[in-house]
Amino acid sequence: MTHPVERIIRAISPKWAFRREQYRRALSAYEAAKPSRLRKHGADNSSGDAVVGRAGPALRGYARQLEQNHDLARGVLSVLVNNVVGPHGISIESQPRNKDGDIHEDFASALQEARKDWILRPEVTWEHDYAAAERLACRTWLRDGELLVQELIGMVPRLNHGTRVPFSIELIEADLLPFDYDDERKGITQGVERNGWGRPLAYHIYRQHPGDDRIFFKLATKRVPADRMLHPKMVDRIRQARGVSVFAAVMRRLEDIKDYEESERVAARVAAALTAYIKKGMPEDYTAPDSGKKDRSFSMKPGMVFDGLLPGEEVGTIQSNRPSGLLEPFRDGQLRAVASGTGANYSSMSKNYNGTYSAQRQELVEGWGNYQALTSLFVSQFSRPIYRRFVDAAIASGVVRLPRDIDPLTIYDADFRGPAMPWIDPDKESKANERLERAGYKSAQQIIRDRGGNPSDTMRQIKRWRDEADRNALIFTTDPKHDKGQANEGPADAGLSDSEGEKNDAETVSNQGS
């Protein structure tokens, strides 16, 4: 039966009545959409730009405050950076191809040789080499949610590149891209100028940092074309102009952990200050102290015997059970939630490595998927665009010559690899790789790359080492009678036939190469 109010609404405004009926049916279909006294659902259907515009600056400031003052937050960032970029930065192996489809070794070597000089001074301040610049950029990207990178090629006023390839990058904090600069006529949203398809055309950035204490006037902005600027950012919504910190969903939890631990530390310090009192006995035993009698307080010493207590009195101490035994379980549970929200491994973040081999292996495998996803995103937004611009600058400047037999579509081809997944049990892992190579499921080059190495460099190092060993009449053997890797003077295949000696050499090379 239709409610009288509904009939009145239907008579006045059928459209309104129709919409009310639609919403009523939606709520009846999805219980989760029904707010109640126990479940007060908060919904925000604002655009991604609107949501970030309201909270972006505050989130960035809170994230920086956590890094500066909270050891756990700083540890989360370090764990993420170490596993996304690694101590030596993203490994880049140039892989251009000739017109036959093979790797063009000469051109690849020329690019790698030019990079050896450039990575020492890749950015305008000369304060960071490329690995340090990548780590700093990754840390900023994770903590602030975004950063800007200006690419400078060729002659730039008052800039000395300091390298053979005239190319430098400038790392810029996101503060210089104003959140409050919007101009609908020009397509500018939060400092980013975009076309109708949402593609960035330019960035309007401050000439100085707005947080500098020496700034006493309104800052002016300058327009930098998008083809000269990179904007690595972490986004959750489609067409979101600005990035959001990786800490956004766990900030309150980290603050709760910090406050709880601080309270327990204070309680533990209070408990450590031993306090004694004199118990008077039953109420009827109490007698008012003589006003002329001196204070009965006394100092406590080891092995002290109390003398002078009145009848019915005894000495008691204030007991405290702090820190609470619930502190560690609560902290561990909260840290697991933080690990889930940030993508960091719980064991690495909490430094708690208890557990079986299978449990640790499972955590490592699952966590490594998160790290690889972040590495892939960072490479696509930072490392790969910079490498492509470096190749352009190296060829345009004549430092690297473009061969005639190169396939022009493969000039920028390269293999980008983050840190290698660590081994829990090196013996088991190495044996597994050896079996995969022998069965033909994995090449030695793949194994070397998975371990974070460069196959070409590894091969050259092995060749130089074995040439040096031959000059010094040293033979390396895997004979179980000798220690693995033990150098023995004299020929290892003495007394063997030619075919047996060749077989022994082949096995030695195979074992050492893998």
Q: Please report, in tens digits, the pLDDT of each residue of the chain (514 residues total).
A: 567 777 777 778 877 777 877 776 665 656 666 666 766 667 778 888 999 998 999 999 999 999 999 999 999 999 999 999 999 999 999 999 999 999 999 999 999 999 999 999 999 999 999 999 999 999 999 999 999 999 999 999 999 999 999 999 999 999 999 999 999 999 999 999 999 999 999 999 998 888 887 766 778 899 999 999 999 999 999 999 999 999 999 999 999 988 888 888 888 887 777 677 777 766 666 666 665 566 666 666 777 776 667 666 777 776 667 777 778 888 888 888 998 899 888 888 888 877 777 777 778 888 888 999 999 999 999 999 999 999 999 999 999 999 999 999 999 999 999 888 776 677 777 888 888 888 888 888 878 777 767 787 788 788 888 888 888 888 765 544 444 444 444 444 444 444 444 444 444 434 433 3
217 shares a domain with 90: yes
Q: 242 with 262, same domain?
A: no
* CB count in 10 Å sphere of residue 373: 12
Domain of 99, in residue numbers: 48-246+343-423
Are 194 and 337 in a shared domain? no
The closest alpha carbon to 390, from 230, 243, 232, belongs to 230
Of 408, 423, 438, the position where a domain reaches its end is 423
3-state secondary structure of 56: helix
pLDDT of residue 434: 85
Specify whether 158 is located in the same domain as 195: yes
Structure tokens at 235: 């986004």
Note whether 118 and 222 are same-domain residues: yes
Q: Has residue 484 been placed in a domain?
A: no
Let me know whether 24 and 93 are in one domain.
Answer: no
505 inside domain: no
- 323 and 365 assigned to the same domain: no
Structurally, how many domains does the chain consist of?
3
Please name the residue ranges forming H helices in 119-250.
Answer: 130-144
Please report the pLDDT score of residue 4 as a whole number.
75
Domain membership flag for residue 499: no
Q: What are phi and psi of 370, to 5 degrees?
A: -65, -45
Confirm whether 429 is domain-assigned. Answer: no
pTM more than 0.85: no
What is the rounded distance in angstroms from the CA atom of residue 191 to the CA atom of residue 180?
7
Shared domain for 281 and 408, answered yes or no, is no
Per-residue pLDDT, 142: 96
DSSP 258-324: HHHHHHHHHHHHHHHS--EEEE--SGGG--PPPTTSPP------TT-----PPTT-EEEE-----S-
Same domain for 192 and 92 = yes
Q: What is the pLDDT of residue 96?
A: 95
Q: Give the type of residue at 268.
A: A
Distance CA 360, CA 338 (A): 18
Q: What is the pLDDT of residue 490?
A: 43
Domain boundary among 368, 398, 423: 423
Three-state DSSP string of 147-179: CEEEEEECCCCCCCCCCCCCEEEEEECHHHCCC
Round to whole Å and give the CA distance between 355 and 368.
18
With CA atoms as reference, report the closest residue to 148 among 84, 83, 237, 224.
224
CA-to-CA dists, residue 20 to 17, 45, 56, 71, angstroms? 5, 19, 35, 52
If one counts every other C-beta atom within 10 angstroms of the C-beta of residue 467, the result is 10
Whether residue 267 sits in one domain with residue 214: no
Same domain, 194 and 209: yes
Q: Distance between CA 449 and CA 395 in Å, rounded?
A: 27
Residue 377 lies in a domain: yes
- 324 located within any domain: yes
Distance CA 505, CA 507 (A): 5
d(CA 94, CA 455): 12
Co-location of 241 and 307 in the same domain: no
Q: What is the CA radius of gyration of the chain?
A: 34
Q: How far apart are CA 500 and CA 477, in angstroms?
A: 14
State residue 514's pLDDT score.
Answer: 35
Answer whether residue 475 is part of any domain: no
Mark which of 397, 423, 449 sits at the end of a domain: 423
Residue 486 falls inside a structural domain: no
